[in-house]
Structure 1
Amino acid sequence: KADMPLIGPLLDYEWVAYAFSWFGAFYDLTIPFFLWNRKTRPFAYITVIIFHILTWLLFPIGVFPWVMIFSTLIFFGDDFHQKVLSRLDGIFKLPASANFTQSRIHPALRIFFIIFLAWQVLWPWRFMAYPGKLFWTEQGYRLSWRVMLMEKAGYVTFHITDPRTGRSGEAHPSDYLTPNQEKQMSTQPDLILQFAHYLEKEYQAKGVEDPVITAEAYVTLNGQGSRLFIDPEADLTEKDDSFAPKEWILDYED
């Protein structure tokens, strides 16, 4: 991103990375309080827009910034949302059934939100039930409120063997996947497993009834040296994708 106008040249400096990191942490920890305050809310929301547009420009995180920009509107009072709905009603001529009125929250809905919030708090802690380095195995990583904490890169070659004839060959993901799909698959164990099962069906269609499929995968984590990722002797066609620990992921050795 060093070619970006204005701030691009600054991104080459290491101190800028640290400054962005600490500012981002400080911002995330303090912005809710400014959004809760009616007097500071409009100005805080402007900073939300600026902050997330910057993250959209600097990092490949998809629609996340736009989701955050619009979901932050929940901090505004009901009068604000009523005005928005009234304007939408004037533009789109919403039917009467679409007009929102204030009403008491049903007890069942309260229970649902309590369970939902409890799940949001407890579910991220499931990583403690899995062995190994979290960012390496990614078991318990998803839906755990961890954002932009790791960078992984890797490549995978799949080896297919016909146990009846002993003949073997290689399958390269680039022959089946787009570059982005291959990039994502190459560093995530469950996606590697899914692709192995896909290859199993492909080779069964070619007449190989019970192919043995292994993976030779090398991955680098946060700029460290490339390491063997998957047990190269494990037949992935015999592995199931479940919440159980994936013993075929090799340990990360510092």
Structure 2
Amino acid sequence: MYRGVSIAPLVVFRIIFGALMLFGAVRFLSKGWVFDNYILPDFHFTYLGFDWVEKLPGNWMYLPFILMIIASIGMILGAFYRINATLLFLSFSYIELIDKTYYLNHYYFVSLMLLLLIFIPAHRRFSLDLKIFKLQQWDEVPAIYRNIICFLLGLVYFFAGIAKIEYDWLVLAQPLKLWLDKFHHLPLIGGILANDYVAYFFAYFGLIYDTTIPFLLLGKKTRPYAYFFVISFHIITWLLFPIGVFPWVMICSTLIFFPASFHLKLLQKLEAWLKVKTQKGMVVTKVNQLYKYFILVFVVVQLLLPFRYLLYPGNLFWNEEGFRFSWRVMLMHKEGLATFYIEDRNTGKQIEIDNSDYLTESQEKQMATQADFLIQYGHHLYDQFKDTLLVYGQHQVHLVDPIVRADVKVSLNGRLNQQFVSKKYNFADLKYDLKHRTFIEEFKP
């Protein structure tokens, strides 16, 4: 773990990951998502414990994305590397913490990888820092720096694999049947993709792929074949499903599993092309004691966190208690309809809420199927209507302490709609915490 290994894989990874971050930030800006997702909405669904994270006012919200672009370029060039790695981690994580509506597993993965890169000395070769700070080149570094990257990549795949060992995925081939059936209209391949046998093939292949690919990438003889499947698998998923840049992140990141000689050749060609003069570097085998403790805590947390769902009763995909941060990738399809009502405590009179008055389409879609979103939205509506006039017909009532009710129905993986939450609960009284949410109706398979 602490033996000296070539620094080349870390340098190549730094350049590739920096380029991916640069592309992602530019893509986000070019599609107008900064305005649509962060500037336009008045209300955001914050993570538990992070309600203090607020968006910047107006067009200032473009600032963290501009900082990401600058920091990504700095990472690629190895200029002020640790400062830019830290800036990249903080700006990216800040953006993600503003609203969990846009949570994706690969965003979480990126945040974790950026956190690791802050402490990894990937700037000690082929970087501007060598000239800026007159640093001596390092040729070898402790293996732990590369191993922790491989660990995180392997963990993502393996946990995504074991999460597929469940009824809907293996027995019903859901939600793959639902998703693939949408391609039935395509010429030539539409009928093939919509065939149930194809859905089952994808389901079982996905399980085998995810659970075995980390180990196959580690093997010298199996690595070339494994990487072929990495490329094939992720390009197919990219073509079929709207999962953004995640396939390209994994295709590029898994190159870290290739031997140091592979990365060294790439680096030497790049150095020769740019006419960068290299020097005989140091062999470094010592690791800071604090970093060892950090890695230990990081590994333990990442191994335990995906299993926290075991602390909650009921169906995980129905309740979604312990679902996030557990690498359950593309395992469910939920559709919901949440109708909220504001009720006068004294007269019992109600008005129905038009959710589009308060939420974007993306926010409403997520809110309608997830209990924690429902609680937060209920609290927001309470704040909006407290001490206001409730108008119904020709009458109006002053709402001092309104009741917020919701009738929520949800469909999971193609099943018929089921009652998710009934109108008997006052959402203004429900607490947003880590406890099991007893107001959720029991799932009926």
Same fold (TM over 0.5): yes
Q: Find the aligned partners of 1:194 and 1:162 in 2 and give their Cα distance.
A: 20
Q: Which structure has the higher relative contact order (CA within 8 Å, separation 6+)?
A: 2
Match of 1:64 in 2: 246
Q: Find the aligned partners of 1:236 and 1:112 in 2 and give their Cα distance.
A: 40
Q: Deviations over 1:12-55 (max 9, x none)?
A: 21111111111222222332233113344344323212211211
Q: Find the aligned partners of 1:160 and 1:131 in 2 and give their Cα distance.
A: 30
Letter in 2 for 1:135: F
Seq. identity, %: 45
Q: Deviations over 1:182-235 (max 9, x none)?
A: 222111111111111222222237454422111100011122221110132111
Please tell me whether residue 238 in structure 1 is matched to residue 429 in structure 2. Answer: yes
- 1:29-40, aligned counterparts within 5 Å? 29-40=211-222
Q: Deviations over 1:120-170 (max 9, x none)?
A: 222222222212221111111222232222221110100111325644201
Letter in 1 for 2:323: Y
Residues 148/223 of structure 1: CA separation in 2 closer, same or farther (3 Å cut): same
Please tell me whether residue 210 in structure 1 is matched to residue 435 in structure 2. Answer: no
Q: Find the aligned partners of 1:150 and 1:144 in 2 and give their Cα distance.
A: 14
Please tell me whether residue 7 in structure 1 is matched to residue 184 in structure 2. Answer: no
- 1:41-120, aligned counterparts within 5 Å? 41-81=223-263, 103-120=285-302
Cα contact 1:156–1:172 (8 A) shared by 2: no
Cα contact 2:238–2:247 (8 A) shared by 1: yes
TM-score, reference length from structure 1: 0.84
Q: CA RMSD in A?
A: 3.0
2:438 is aligned, of 231, 247, 251, to 247
Residues 88/215 of structure 1: CA separation in 2 closer, same or farther (3 Å cut): farther
Structure 1, gaps ≥5 residues long: none
- SS of 2:337's equivalent? strand
TM-score, reference length from structure 2: 0.50
Structure 2, gaps ≥5 residues long: 1-182, 390-398
Runs of 4 or more, structure 1, over 4 Å off, are 3-6, 79-94, 99-103
Aligned residues: 251
Q: Find the aligned partners of 2:402 and 2:263 in 1 and give their Cα distance.
A: 58
